[in-house]
Chains A and B, each alone.
Chain A
């Protein structure tokens, strides 16, 4: 675990984010992902213009817990919606309308459903963002011109320097052996430029 505390810096003094390797197509990148997974890396990711089929297995990702959260919030929202309507119709502003009992549950079903859906939808979107740590408008990878093609037709694997198994040369060698067409080092932001010496 000592490796985890190692910190890499480039010659310019910038902290190393990790290595970025480009792969020619979804097939090679899936295959490479399996090799990275089998090599025991944990802080790494595959970047592709679309979700590649079966890549979750290739990367060894566990199933996401998002559905549980969404289902829980959605059902809670529906219950709250029902209780609110019931309260409004029996306590808040009880009026006899349409000859129905004040707390006629049947009439509350449509709105209960809509509120449940509303909660579910917001949780799905916001939960997805929260699980992904978004919004985050800047990222070290985005400074690499090569990486700007990821939304088009490029496929990448990035292994972070924080990974306990990260070691520049073996990691690079692994990626090259897995079929990378190019491997480059990614820096985090440069430290502020040194103040000009006063003479």
Chain B
């Protein structure tokens, strides 16, 4: 009964090799980093480099324990200062009044709601990756779901701020909630704006639960590691610079508290997996419903450009589209900055996300096209007018009456970023190149902001009566509030990178080849699973296992 590397399968495969170095490996010249396998009979490995379970633990816990590196503190300080703009601007807004924003009687929803929809859209990718990909058994989700879920929470925080402050008298915002009050006034449940309150707060809460639940086992791992070091160092470990407490003790208590006493029991795992699946099951329609309800804010009106039945799925597709772009924007730099992360987030992961961007980009494009077609097909003069003279027509194509769309540049920026730019992903070299993916993700993020701007501002700035036509121009307060929300988002994300498990360790381990108990040669012949179902392939020792 010898003690050896528990990952017997890996260990056996590695026999003859020196211990796997943490540094650069020999790359397979044919398949890039080893994940871009073209062979349809092969699933690309989800974790590169024949890593062991222990490597996953060391690497992922290492990010939270050792810290991300020198770049972190300066970045954090800068982004925290930018984030500070947001409360400042909000304070200024509250003590002065909404007049400090550029909106007016014609365009009475402008940057605030644009930013709200933009952020809530970004917040959808996290739950999408976690929930929908979980239901579809897309195992590659395990490498990106944690970061994406974190992003969701932070984006929802940014999003929820905007409608909160745009109500004007923010001290009355509590009346959004159905709380009994002295005036016997209840909210209007027939108003889309109230549905929004429920949708966004439910979404934020459920995303938080989902995120937290996924982290419970990983918190337990971090706790056990700290406890182990404490035992071994006998209390002599490194100490916090500020309070002088033993760092591992702080970790053991903090992570231990959050882990709720998780001890990796199979009886617990059984309930846990069921609960996780059910959460994924309700989160999927939740994602759809939340952005659909956001779209109802617009589509239940009678305003041309807002009222169209395709809005719900169109908004959802757009949210997924923009959300994946943001995931890529965050993960690509992380991948460069954290040691070993390229083995967890492989090129195949990036390529898959690029493909999702291409597909959802088409969905969005489909919706743009449908809106156009139906605007003409309906025979409704106002609809047609909105699309031609609010959105599309540039000045140099203005008709004899000199009419053109003042916001044509916003519309065409949206089309270029959302419909045209993802087309480069048809080229394999582009969707397998980190630089191109990053560029497109960046453009898509901008394009999705413009999409919301186009929907909200351009639909409003031309009312039914030409007498009440107007324009919207953002004020510095508008702009700085948005910049501040970007800072808030980044700051929270940096804190996440520093202190929390960035990857779902237990889930990654579960999709590694050596996690399959059937892959081990135990006691001669199989041990009773599956009752001979699908015999032949069942115990094939060399069958491809867990992969993308």
Contact = CB atoms under 8 A, between A and B. Distances in A.
Contacts of B189: 85, 88-89, 107-108, 111
Contact of B224 (A25, A45, A122, A152): A152
Given A54-B517, A131-B271, A148-B228, A117 B285 contact: yes
A64 B224 CA distance: 28
A48 B522 CA distance: 18
A121 B221 contact: no
A113 interface: yes
The secondary-structure label for the interface of chain B is helix
Centre residue among A61, A128, A149, A182 by max chain B CB count within 10 A? A128
A26 B271 contact: no
Q: Which of A49, A95, A149 has the most CB of B within 10 A?
A: A49
A154 B509 CA distance: 12
Contacts of B213: 125, 128
A110 B195 contact: yes
Interface stretch (B72-80, B204-212, B442-450): B204-212
A111 B198 contact: yes
Interface residues of A, number: 83
Given A26-B520, A111-B194, A50 B507 contact: yes
A28 B520 contact: yes
A61 B270 contact: yes
Contacts of A139: 261, 263
Interface in A95-143: 95, 97-98, 100, 104, 107-108, 110-111, 113-115, 117-118, 120-122, 124-125, 127-129, 131-132, 134-139, 141-142
Contact of A148 (B53, B188, B227, B530): B227
B289 A74 contact: no
A153 interface: yes
A56 to B, nearest CB: 6
A151 interface: yes
Nearest to A87: B186
Contacts of A97: 188, 190-191
Interface of B: 1-4, 6-9, 52-54, 57, 178, 184-191, 194-195, 198-199, 202, 205-206, 209-210, 212-213, 217, 220-225, 227-228, 231, 256-257, 260-275, 278-279, 282-283, 285-286, 289, 292-293, 296, 505-507, 509-510, 514-523, 527-530
Given A48-B264, A114-B289, A56 B523 contact: no
Interface string A34-61: 1000000000011111111111111101
Contacts of A48: 264, 266, 269
Given A93-B184, A148-B225, A152-B221, 18 more contacts: A26-B515, A27-B521, A30-B522, A45-B267, A46-B265, A47-B266, A50-B515, A52-B517, A54-B517, A58-B528, A88-B178, A89-B188, A111-B194, A114-B198, A118-B205, A121-B205, A124-B278, A131-B271
Given A50-B515, A117-B286, A131-B271, A70 B260 contact: no
A72 interface: no
